[in-house]
Structure 1
Amino acid sequence: MAEAQKELKKALTPVHLWAIGVGLVISGEYFGWNYGWGVAGTVGLLIATLVITALYFTFIFSFTELTTAIPHAGGPFAYSLKAFGPLGALIAGYATLIEFLFATPAIALALGSYLHFLYPAISIQLASVASFVVFTIVNMLGIKEAAWFSLIMTILAIVELLVFIAVVAPHFQLQTFLHNPMPFGWSGVFAALPFAIWLFVCLEGVAMVAEEVKDGHRAIARGYISALLTLAVLALAVMICVGGIADWEKLDHLDYPLPESIALVLGRENPVTKLFASVGLFGLVASFHGIIISYSRQLFALARAGYLPAGLAKVSPKRQVPYVALVIGAGLGILALFLLDTSKLVILSTVGAVVVYIVSMLALFRLRKTQPDLERPFKAPLYPYFPAIALGLATIALAAMAWSYPWLCLLFFGGLAAITLFFYLSGRYKQALPTNA
């Protein structure tokens, strides 16, 4: 009975994975990326985004090899455990948690800001806290129900972005997009990298539901690749359209750049503006909901393997969801939204992301060497070039963020050092499982 309560239900198909993948990320098209204009200008952020798009194409095609070979709720944690042992797993698990746990309060603040845009009497922070409560409860219903909700929200979010592009594209002006295009030169491009990463960050969260996939190998590959293509097209289209509507200085500090863009085109009181802001919540909800799924599975996997308290691995008998991990993750997210603003949450989340990408690509190279006979239903194309490009670009991105945002990076790595010290001094490393659990 105890073992049964540490198993997750297999219920997901490729369509669910596409929806979860796009849903995890699509809020990045709604807000967050525009903070990059404040440090790089329109062209500077566009260059950073093209570099990061190359990073994600090479990374996801390589990462899919790991996900299909080792379908595990821990995702990068599990791959690093197999490749490097407990310390590598600890680094990957910590970075993944930082990525997902700090992304959710950033999205929650954007949800609150959208509601405040519609109804100024609503408190942004109160609405943000309410979002955590509501969607944690939704996730308690079960993975299949949560995935269907994610599918519906994702489709609505994509439709909305297409409508947005159709409304604002006729008003695009090249001279507006090229206004003060690179005010800080190439150093601004490096500073903009975390905001470009925000357009794709958390996509690898699909790996966290790998244990819950039917016909796992094919479904995972199809889900990842279709999600990546969808997101790349939407990200570039939205960024270029918004940049040609108004001088970027009017939009680089807002958590709701899309409804503000439509307000500039049609007028703030126009019914279409109000409607867009209302349905704009779909994209934020899709990502918020999807990331809750992912961070709860990461907490569950780390606890099940002995890296975190065992209570976090408890699964509800009926719904088979990690309910303790859901509640604890929500509590941490609510705390973070009171301590940090949106831009800092975005930067910390993306620092965690690039560390995950670096460790994952190193694990891919290591496992190719040490376990050549491991079954790999999907192999990284153009090996070793794709994973090498992903590794190189991720390393450059991490170095750029350390240079541009040293205090936030110090906070990230200081936390990692403290966790590592506790892990060994407490003797917890002796309890950690040496193989996949």
Structure 2
Amino acid sequence: MPKPATTLDKSLNAFHLWGIAVGLVISGEYFGWSYGWAQAGTLGFLVTTLCVAAMYVAFIFSFTELTTAIPQAGGPFAYSLRAFGPTGAAVAGYATLIEFVFAPPAISLAIGAYLNVQFPGLDPKHAALGAYLLFMALNIVGVRIAATFELFVTVLAVGELLVFMGVVAPAFSLASFTAGGWAGQDAFGPAAIGGIFAAIPFAIWFFLAIEGVAMAAEEAKDPKRTIPIAYITGVLTLTVLAFGVMLFAGAAGDWKSLSDLNDPLPQAMKRVVGESSGWLHMLVWLGLFGLVASFHGIIMGYARQIFALARAGFLPGVFARVHPRFQTPHIATVAGGIVGIAAIYSDNLISVAGQSLTASIVTMAVFGALTMYVMSMAALFRLRRREPNLARPYRAPLYPYAPAFALVMALVCLVALVVYNPLIFSIFAATMGAAVLAVRLVAKPAVPSPAPAA
């Protein structure tokens, strides 16, 4: 019997990759971030977002060096394997897996809740299950089809955010945005500073998962050229959109009434155009594309991460098989979906530290992301020293300062997250510890290949 194929199809261009980069993240522009206002106020959260945005820009400009030098589906896992060996690879790989497997259930539940508003008889969990089944199938039938769909919904979602800003612009009032902007506290007083740190997860939500483009590197045409274009234009697109939606939503009226809602943009628009406006109905319906783009893109990401871990011996080899016709990691796609569907139907049955399961798994995803960011920047420094002749088609600008800034900021964010979420961190650390121990005791990971000379 011939050995099952483990080679992915190379069919993605720079525009596809931009769509994946922005689509992975863009749901964060539609919901979730406004809870940061409850923690820090508009001005405090603006400070938090400025710092987090600077971290992501520095990180992506540095991370792109790794992605083009080692264009493998494992992304951060592959970089850490080369830099630190199996133990470091296990930390980076499983942290990335936690981020990408735990984010989709939260987004799918948001899709279900959104559809429930339009169709009250529809159970949100059943709608979330339907979303999983539909987009897992779309991912399996071919990466080009999946990426083209991702690009389509991403362009619609970006356009809708621009429409939102244009429609509410006549009501823009800086006084409204700054009123009580430090959550009722003195500017940069102890309480305000505490709020700035507590709001970090919500600022990260603006950008979470953009690094997932690295997991499509093996399926990219000319990755040395297309990946830098996609990453750099993607992070700049998201930065502009993040500040745009935050400023225009907060300046359209009383921002405090939006700080505990899952739909801040429709509610902000409603104040300006009224409930019966066609603009509002368009935002409500097309806003779904932002959720779909991120959900669909992250499924692509987790499937490639499971595939890469299995191919390297960190997970059972069955997950490294690709479909004989479509050349996609079909078993890995289904496996991650099973975990997500189980989380969907556990929501409201399990709570952690007083939070719903949905809120807790989002926090888990952020823990995974920050751990991966730290490992990736550490791998960049290590590989610069250990493998100076590694072919690097793209080199991080402002080295070593930009990657050092990204590394320090990721560590600061990680410490703050631990302080404010000690129980969830304990669960995350225990999960990571068990996974790394299993690799050391049971798995037989592959040895990274020698570096090509520049």
Query: For the Cα contact (< 8 Å) 2:18–2:231, is it kept in 1?
Result: yes
Q: Which residue, out of 430, 433, 436, partners 2:446? A: 433
Does residue 330 in structure 1 map to residue 346 in structure 2? no
| Cα offsets for 1:2-38 (capped at 9, x unmatched) | 5671000000111111111011111110111112112
**2: distance between equivalents of 1:264 and 1:113?**
22
- 1:174-323 matches, cutoff 5 A: 174-183=174-183, 184-323=191-330
| CA deviation after TM superposition for structure 1 residue 105, in Å | 1.4
- CA 1:297–1:2 in structure 2 vs 1: closer, same or farther (change >3 Å)? farther
Which residue type is aligned with residue 347 of structure 1? T
Per-residue CA deviations over 1:39-79 (Å, capped at 9, x if unaligned) read 11111111111001110111001000000000000000000
Tell me, yes or no, if the aligned pair for 2:68 and 2:224 is still in contact at 8 Å: yes
Q: TM-score normalized by structure 2? A: 0.92
**Per-residue deviation, 1:263:** 2.3
Shift of 1:92: 0.4
Question: What CA RMSD, in Å, does the superposition of the two structures yield over aligned residues?
Answer: 1.6
CA contact (8 A) 2:168 2:248 kept: yes
Q: Displacement of 1:341 after TM fit? A: 4.2
Amino acid at match of 1:358: V
Q: Whole-Å Cα distance in 1 between the matches of residues 21 and 13 of structure 2? A: 12
1:144 maps to: 144
Contact 2:439 2:445 in 1 (8 A): no
Which residue identity does 1:36 align to in structure 2?
G
Q: Distance in 1 between matches of 2:364 and 2:2?
A: 36
The correspondence for 1:402, drawn from 418, 429, 443, is 418
Q: Provide closer, same or farther for how the CA distance between residues 305 and 242 of structure 1 changes in structure 2, counting only shifts above 3 A.
A: same
Instruction: Specify the alignment match of 1:367 in structure 2.
Output: 383
Structure 1 distance, partners of 2:255, 2:431, is 35
User: 2:81 is paired with a residue of what secondary structure?
Assistant: helix
- State how far apart, in whole Å, the 2-side matches of 1:304 and 1:89 are: 13
State the alpha-carbon separation in 2 of the partners of residues 265 and 346 from structure 1: 31
Distance 2:242 2:120 in 1: 29
Deviations 1:360-391 (A, max 9, x none): 00000000111111000000111111110000
Aligned equivalent of 1:417, options 403, 417, 433: 433
Question: For the residues of structure 1 that align with 2:32 and 2:449, how far apart are their CA atoms?
Answer: 36
Q: Partners of 2:156 and 2:266 in 1: how far apart?
A: 16
Deviation at 1:117, TM superposition (A): 2.6
Counterpart amino acid of residue 389 in structure 1: F
Q: Unaligned stretches of 5+ in structure 1? A: none
Deviations 1:106-133 (A, max 9, x none): 2112212221232333222222221111
Number of residue pairs matched by the alignment: 434
In 1, are the aligned partners of 2:8 and 2:327 still within 8 Å (CA)?
yes
Match of 2:350 in 1: none
Q: CA 1:158/1:177 → structure 2, altered by over 3 Å: closer, same or farther?
A: same
Greater shift in the superposed pair: 314-323 or 341-350: 341-350
Q: Give 3-state SS (helix, strand or coil) of 1:376's partner.
A: coil
Q: Which residue of 1 aligns with 2:134?
A: 134
Residue type of the alignment partner of 2:93: G
Percent identical among aligned pairs is 50
Q: State the partner residue of 1:345.
A: 361
Q: Partner letter of residue 118 of structure 1?
A: Q
- Report if the CA contact (8 A) 1:112-1:123 is conserved: yes
Q: Greater shift after overlay, 416-425 or 323-332? A: 416-425
Shift of 1:419: 1.5
Change (3 A) 1:2 1:89: farther
Name the CA shift for 1:203/1:58 in 2 (closer, same or farther; >3 Å).
Answer: same
Q: Relative to 1, partners in 2 of residues 1:436 and 1:346: Cα closer, same or farther, differing over 3 Å?
A: farther
Higher mean displacement: 166-175 or 141-150:
166-175
Counterpart position of 1:73: 73
Distance 2:213 2:416 in 1: 27
Deviation at 1:153, TM superposition (A): 0.7
Matched residue, 1:153: 153
Change (3 A) 1:17 1:5: same
Deviation, structure 1 residue 223: 0.8
Note if contact 1:41-1:180 (Cα within 8 Å) is conserved in structure 2: yes
Number of the residue aligned with 2:396: 380
2:162: which partner in 1?
162
Partner residue in 1 for 2:117: 117
Report the counterpart of residue 88 of structure 2 in structure 1.
88
CA shift in 2, pair 1:4/1:224, >3 Å = farther
Provide the secondary structure at the position in 2 that maps to 1:280: helix
